[in-house]
Structures are given as C-alpha cells and as structure tokens.
Structure 1
Amino acid sequence: MTDIILCGKAEDHALSEILIPSLSRYGGVRFSSRDQIRQFGPESPAFLVWDCEQIPEVALESGVLVFKNSYRPLTSIQVPPEFLCVFESHNQYAAAVLKNAGASAAVCGLSARDTLSISSLDYGNAVLSLLRNVQTIRGGLLEPHDFQVQTHSRVSPRHMLVVAMVLLLLGMDSSDGFMIGL
C-alpha cells in the first residue's frame, strides 16, 4: 500500500474530494482523517490517504506528502528523505517549510518555473506539461512531456495539477492521459 499524506486544515476537503476518486481508478483507497476512516474500491486498497493538519512523525520508507493551500505550519518539520512532496506554486507556507527542512518538491502552477503546468485548457479537457525531470516513488525517472487530462466534474485547474502530479509521482502511466475527479 502506498502512503499519501495530505496536510492542511481538517475542514478543507476540496483536494481530497478530487484526489480520492482519481486514485480509485488505479486501485482502492483507504482514507483516514481526524473524524473518519473510509474505504473506496477493492478490499485490498493500493493507497492510504491520510488527511492531517500537521505533518506527523513519519517512520515509513516512502510516500507522497501533499500540502493543501490551507496548510499553516506550527513548528519546523522533518520530511523523510524518500517522501516526495507536492504543493501549488502560490502556497508560500509549504515552500518556506520545505526550504527550511531541506526537502525538494514538485511545484504545480501556471509558470515556466513550476514542475507541472497547464499547456491548454478547455471544458472538461486539458493538456498538462511536465516541465522538468521528476523521480517517481519507485525510483523511475519521468522526463518532460505533455499529456491529456479529462475531468468529469467541476475541477479547478489548480486541483487538477496537484492530483495529476500525485499520479505521476506514483508512477501512473500518462501516455493515455488521466481522468481526474468524479
């Protein structure tokens, strides 16, 4: 099971509401938050998504750490070396805390400085551009490329970017594109 930690305010469900159905297409998801534990998909889920306000003490070999825009650090953090981090480019709190921790991250946004950006956007369809090399959670190397994304629901471009980046870091094949959202 692959671990994904979402960090940000407990009442901020916008990202998890897009991430969970998107991940469910690639294997079941067990979701845990402060007040609920739920499972989506098969009995043996491929992913554990844990929603928390602060980064917990992590004693796991690898995973993905996703910062919601509602994340506000209370203390300095330590990011396990094998965890891959993702945040939106305008999330200055995540950028600062990761810089202080000496951790690198995949940044999602609309500029050429970001790791993942939008090349074109239309109703329900987008072409995203991976602008630099990234290493997947299994150690594979993804080189810059464009890929398609379809959405079934009203998904904001910024959430679409973060979820697509998580799928890429998990090693999902983007050659046929991704379906994001419900």
Structure 2
Amino acid sequence: MMTNWIGIFGVMGTILTDNGGEFSSDEMREVASILNVKVYTTAGESPFQNGLCERVHAITDTMLMKLEADYRQVNNQSLLCWANMARNSLQMWNGFSSHQLVFGLNPNLPNILKDTLPALEGRTSSEEFAKHLNILHDSRKAYIQSESDERIRRALRSKIRATVLMVFYKRD
C-alpha cells in the first residue's frame, strides 16, 4: 500500500475491503489511524457483496495466465503491471475507463490510431523495450478475450442469489 499506492498517488480518503485477515488486522487499523484513513468493510460471510471486485480479479487472473504462458521469462510483477494497465484503460464504467475516472484522462498508449512513422514500423534495437511493447499489446488482447470468457460467464450464472427485500414503514 505504501509503495504501490501512497508513494505514487498520495493518501486515500477511505478504503473498502472484505473481512480478510490482512485487512482486519491490528497493523491495518494502526496504519489507517496514523494516515487518517477511514476503513470500511463489507459484511462477513457475504462474498456476493464483493462481486464486482471478484469479477475484476477473475478477469485479471485470466489475463495473467495467458501472459504467463506466452512470456515465461518475464517476471510476474511486470506482467501484472501491464495486465492492470490494459484492464484499467479498456474497461468502461458509464463511458469512462477506470484510468480516466481516477486521473481525468486516458493513458497515451502506443496504438495504430495515433501512431505515425517511425512508431508504426514496430522495430527497435532494444530487446527489453520490444518485450514491454509486445506485453502491452498482448495484455490488451488478453483483456478483450477475458472480458468475453465463457468460463467466467458460466461462473457468474451459476451463483446468482435472488433476494427480495421489503421495507415497511408507517406514515402519519
């Protein structure tokens, strides 16, 4: 949290977590107290409240598995960074990407719509740079494939909980 969020974006106002032990610990309460961060948790024994988070996690896991199969020599941290960049810049919420909602604009990533020569040639003398560009493009492909993954679709259909909540109140 310190290096990958606060070190880059600054201190957040609130954190919403599930009731996992890593979040409901004395250390987390102390950190939140020192940083003046409010910590909210979803109800215990109710994973359906974390559905959106779990769905995003499943899509990212699927992307990561596809990237790991193609790039065995690349460390998982680099693959995860590119998978998150692809997901955050492609996934839309009411017409806006996650990246756009946080930063106010979409990232400027290399693509055929904006690139001109020499960028369109797609050649470089640096193997490391070429590897990152290939991972970037493949992670975007993996996101599109994962987004329509039939396994995830089946899983979402099988665990539907339909509840009816009725609230009665008395008017004067």
TM normalised by structure 2 equals: 0.28
> Which protein has the bigger strand share?
1
Give the TM-score normalised by structure 1: 0.27
Larger radius of gyration: 2
Higher helix share: 2
